[in-house]
Homo-oligomer: A and B are copies of this chain.
Amino acid sequence: DDSWTVAGRTFRSRLIVGTGKYKDFAQNAAAVEASGAEIVTVAVRRVNVADPKAPMLTDYIDPKKITYLPNTAGCYTGEEAIRTLRLAREAGGWDLVKLEVLGEAKTLYPDMVETLRATEVLAKEGFKPMVYCVDDPIAAKRLEDAGAVAIMPLGAPIGSGLGIQNRVTIRLIVEGTSLPVLVDAGVGTASEASSAMELGCAGVLMNTAIAEAKNPVMMARAMKLAVESGRLAYRAGRMGRRMYADPSSPLAGLI
């Protein structure tokens, strides 16, 4: 058994997937199923609460089986993000949430000053914030002190698919915190998800890499296996690197 725990809740899958970029809810649900994810994240501001007759994601992805993780995508100040999550809690009772406070639309990088402030407020109000952040080991420690329950550094800009740009910082964050670390953005293909796990991360969150693949459901399964393989490789302990070749064991030389 190799489960992980965040804010007292235990999960077996280490892959968190997004919502909101799929063709329709049915495809989204099929991708979640194929990914093996036990958590999906939903932008609270994107949820349609106006038209009660419109189809809803919960009709396709059962909140009794899959943990919904409300996020604050689209919030550019701490206040907006806090208000959004309060509404989410009132509406659905969620306290395990994903906080993201963006700094600008071009890079979608987090504003860490606002993020830290909001983390503190939310923690005091009893929320359990998993926090999208820059890949900065000191910021990670500050988030931990402020009450974050998970550190979620970006690997590259959201939706860029560029892969993990800085393996040094992710490693330093993992080494420096006792919280679970989940790479939260930038993964474009399977090997990049494995690679995040090989650094000792607790998990990976992705949206675009699955939703924008030519075959999202097949890619979801690829990502499931990639995260599992990277985790196993981390636990198995990789071989050392050599500057030169190394033959197999001495030849018996009988022929």
Contact = CB atoms under 8 A, between A and B. Distances in A.
Chain A interface main SS type: loop
This protein's copies in its complex:
4
Top 9 closest pairs, chain A to chain B, by CB: A214-B237, A159-B246, A103-B138, A222-B232, A108-B245, A225-B229, A191-B194, A190-B233, A157-B245
Contact of A215 (B138, B165, B195, B236): B236
A203 to B, nearest CB: 15
Interface of A: 18, 20-21, 43-50, 73-74, 84, 87, 103-113, 116, 134-139, 141-142, 156-162, 165-169, 172, 176, 188-195, 198, 207-209, 212-216, 218-219, 221-226, 228-233, 235-249, 251-255
B247 A74 contact: yes
A162 B236 contact: no
A252 B48 contact: yes
Nearest to A84: B255
A105 B247 contact: yes
Contact of A160 (B135, B225, B241): B241
